[in-house]
Structure 1
Amino acid sequence: MKKFLTVAAIGALITVSGCGKSENAAASGPVKREAGNWKTDVKLVKFEVPGMPAEAKDQMTKMMEGASGMDQCFTKEQVEKEDIAAELAKGPGNGGECKWSKKNVDGGKIDVAGTCTANGQTVDMAMTGTMEAKKNDVTITTKGKVPTGGDMEMVMQMTSVHTGPCKTPTTT
């Protein structure tokens, strides 16, 4: 179960960190995000695992809520180098890989689907949403077999918003 969740979480992070954005969304090609500080919120929309104890589901929900509110600074150089297609090709983490049956990242829209394998676990993953210069809104659906038997489905919504210039680290 933990391995399955790792694949799903890494897939979600690929989506957020890899989605490039630009001030003027072109009719085709990925939109480039604006440099600066970005705040990401994660919402667990659906989490179904047959036979999973309620305590474990609550723990997963709390873990997702804990990922909300994350601030990240992206410099102009970083956003210029972003390449969602390259990020998607890498797959989840070390030794993981994804085979995408659909990989449409054009004109401010993302519609990606495929199968990812990591840590001996295989899952079907789909990501749909919008990409703008100052906001990303992506829904990630992950489905797969649970090692204990049965089918698991997790749906997360990740929203990232540009909040202004990068925050200056405070020194104490």
Structure 2
Amino acid sequence: MKQIMTIAALGVALAVSGCGKSENAGGTVKREAGNWKTDIKLVKFEVPGMPEEMKSGMKQMMEGASGMDQCFTQEQVDKEDIAAELAKGPGNGGECTWSKKEVGGGKIDVAGTCKANGQTVDMAMNGTIEAKKNDVTITTKGKVPTGGDMEMVLQMTSVHTGPCKPAGASAT
């Protein structure tokens, strides 16, 4: 289960960390500073041999992160660099090699292989990136330690909801 969680965290971390800036000639799209609400939907989760109660637990955990509010200051928005985030990989312990990296003109379409904590997964992110809304589908595929292939598809939608909330808003 821990290794499956690593795969799940990989997709979420990459998507959340780099949803703001474009790197190609299609024009720079930056998220607007302020409060953003992110919803996560687990669209598909297939792991051979995993009991249904564990799958349900994973779905609850992923969707439990829905409704998360984040405050992004103008300084944070100005420093966002999706190209740098994509190159680093998840957290500080992994790296990704991208076979496709098209980010610009309000769209993201990337695919590649990421390594973290001794695991290798194929990952793809596809969707739209706008100043006030991001809608990205993240597909992660890899081998599970018990044998077989796993596949997870997440839908992440982030919407600008206005100025940062003064109390209780978390900063990233």
Instruction: Name the TM-score, length of structure 1 as normaliser.
Output: 0.92
Partner of 1:12: 12
Q: 2:58, 2:92 → 1: CA distance? A: 23
Runs of 4+ in 1 over 6 A off after TM superposition: none
> 1:30 deviation in Å?
3.7
CA distance in 1, matches of 2:121, 2:45: 14
Across the aligned residues of Structure 1 and Structure 2, the Cα RMSD in angstroms comes to: 1.6
Instruction: Provide the residue aligned with 1:90 in structure 2.
Output: 88
Contact 1:30 1:105 in 2 (8 A): no
Cα deviation 1:116-160 (Å, max 9, x = unaligned)? 011111100000000000000000000011100011000000000
Partners of 1:124 and 1:29 in 2: CA distance: 28
- Displacement of 1:11 in angstroms is 2.6
Q: Distance in 2 between matches of 1:5 and 1:153?
A: 12
What does residue 81 of structure 1 align with?
A: 79
Alpha-carbon distance, 1:6 to partner: 1.6
Q: CA deviation at 1:5?
A: 2.5
Match of 1:151 in 2: 149
Separation of aligned partners in 2, 1:144 and 1:67? 23
Q: Deviations over 1:48-98 (max 9, x none)?
A: 001000110010000011110000000011101100000111111232111
Segments of 5+ residues of structure 1 without an aligned counterpart are: none
Instruction: Tell me if the contact between 1:7 and 1:92 (Cα under 8 Å) persists in the aligned partners.
Output: no
Between Structure 1 and Structure 2, how many residues are aligned? Answer: 167
Percent pairwise identity = 81
Greater mean alpha carbon deviation, residues 152-161 or residues 4-13: 4-13
Q: 2: distance between equivalents of 1:157 and 1:20?
A: 17
The answer on 1:59 being equivalent to 2:57 is: yes
Partner of 1:42: 40
CA contact (8 A) 1:33 1:133 kept: yes
Query: Contact 2:21–2:82 (CA<8 Å) still a contact in 1?
Result: no
TM-score normalized by structure 2? 0.92
| Unaligned segments of structure 2, at least 5 residues | none
Pair 1:129 & 2:127 matched: yes
